[in-house]
Amino acid sequence: MSEVVMDFSQRMGLIPESKVIQVDDMDMDLRISLWNALIETYWSQYTSANRMYDYVKGSNFGSYSRKLYSLHYKKSIDTIDTHWNKFLAKVRESFFSCTWDRVYAFIEFTPQHAPEYKQGQTARADFFIKTCNQILERENSAYRFVAGKITPITSQDEIEEVERAITISDQYTGVRTHIQTALGFLTDKLNPDYRNSIKESISAVESLAKKLVGDDKATLGQALKVLEKHHSLHSSLKTAFSALYGYTNDASGIRHSLMDNESDLTQADARFMLITCSAFINFAIDSTKS
């Protein structure tokens, strides 16, 4: 966690010590800070293929410019400016005039498609994401990068649980896919699907259970018994997770998609389930290795 240092105005009580958390908005301090991160991480690395002209085409950002216009802006690529300075000026204009959610969409898009190279020993995309998360924390944003996606998870411990579940489950393809899909449903700002996010989180645990038991028809209950017997799973933890899993399967649970209170599911519900299931997956896989 980055240290919060108050400046003179804050110490004198002339401006607030901290901001209200930014959920459905973005102030100019945050927007400028993110743009500065883009300058330092990406725009400053522009290299032209022609020493005499700052052409976009043929440069290290040529492919990025085409993807930006076709995939993000949804514009014709023949409207891309020839010269880098003019191209970047239009990108800047869009960045500072678009709605707050499109800024997040842009900073999520860029590390996925911009040219990749090392920042010291760190991949540029990883460096940019780390820098952005520091900015988002400092400016009290309600969002952070998690596994390459902007998501409403702000605790570093929680971020690490989800990212580790995606990484550690490499040998369990189904687990990884379900967690990534759950994260996708949760982070879709235009059409979030909390119900299916929860289903995917639970499905990730079920997929792992089948692998641990060695039976495609195995249930979570059977997997918990295996962990309890062979890997020192505490009985209280087994009971807690069994109860949580049971909630999603009983007559009024998540699995019954036609239930009347479908609209009652919230971001908090889906977020809690994603983090909890990720933590359990990490624990279970670590337990089987020990």
Residues 93 and 49 in one domain: yes
Mean pLDDT of 277-287: 83
Residues 88 and 204 in one domain: no
What's the structural domain count of the chain? 2
Residues 193 and 123 in one domain: no
Residues 57 and 126 in one domain: yes
Let me know if residue 53 belongs to a domain.
yes
Residues 242 and 273 in one domain: yes
**Among 195, 150, 149, 200, residue whose Cα is nearest residue 179:** 200
Residues 210 and 281 in one domain: yes
Half-sphere exposure of 88 (CA within 13 A, CB side): 15
Q: Give the span between the Cα atoms of 183 and 186, in whole angstroms.
A: 5
Residues 194 and 252 in one domain: yes
Q: DSSP code of 71? A: I
Range of 94's domain? 21-142
Let me know if residue 115 belongs to a domain.
yes
Mean pLDDT of 200-222: 80
CB 203 within 8 A of CB 218: no
Q: Which of residues 120, 142, 164 is at a domain's end? A: 142
Let me know if residue 78 belongs to a domain.
yes
In the prediction, which pLDDT does 192 show? Answer: 85
Q: Give the span between the Cα atoms of 247 and 243, in whole angstroms.
A: 6
In the prediction, which pLDDT does 16 show? Answer: 61
Q: How does pLDDT run across 174-187, given as a tens digit for each residue?
A: 888 899 899 888 88
Is the pLDDT at 259 greater than 60? The verdict is no
Strand intervals (E) in the chain: 118-119, 122-123, 144-146, 149-151
Is the pLDDT at 109 greater than 90? The verdict is yes
pLDDT band (50, 70, 90) for residue 4: low
pLDDT band (50, 70, 90) for residue 121: low
Cβ-based neighbours of 147, under 8 Å, separated by 6 or more: 162, 163, 166, 180, 183
Residues 130 and 181 in one domain: no
In the prediction, which pLDDT does 250 show? Answer: 58
Q: What is the pTM for the complete model shown?
A: 0.71
Q: Give the span between the Cα atoms of 285 and 8, in whole angstroms.
A: 49
Let me know if residue 147 belongs to a domain.
no
Mean pLDDT of 135-159: 88
Let me know if residue 12 belongs to a domain.
no
Residues 60 and 175 in one domain: no
pLDDT band (50, 70, 90) for residue 127: very high
CATH number at residue 224: 1.20.120
Of residues 85 and 12, more confidence is placed in 85
State percent of the chain over pLDDT 70. Answer: 81
Mean pLDDT of 227-238: 71
Let me know if residue 7 belongs to a domain.
no
pLDDT band (50, 70, 90) for residue 35: very high
Q: Which of residues 142, 177, 199 is at a domain's end? A: 142
Output helix, strand, coil percentages for the chain, rounded to the nearest 5. 60, 5, 35
Hey, which of 29-38, 109-118, 253-262 has the most confident mean pLDDT?
Answer: 29-38
Mean pLDDT of 201-227: 79
Residues 91 and 170 in one domain: no
Q: How does pLDDT run across 47-94, given as a tens digit for each residue?
A: 998 878 899 999 999 999 999 999 999 999 999 999 999 999 999 999
Is the pLDDT at 12 greater than 80? The verdict is no
Let me know if residue 4 belongs to a domain.
no
Residues 225 and 261 in one domain: yes
Residues 138 and 160 in one domain: no
Mean pLDDT of the chain: 83
Identify the sign of the CA torsion 22, 25, 30, 36: positive
**What three-state secondary structure class fits 22?**
strand
Q: Which of residues 113, 142, 171 is at a domain's end? A: 142
Let me know if residue 29 belongs to a domain.
yes
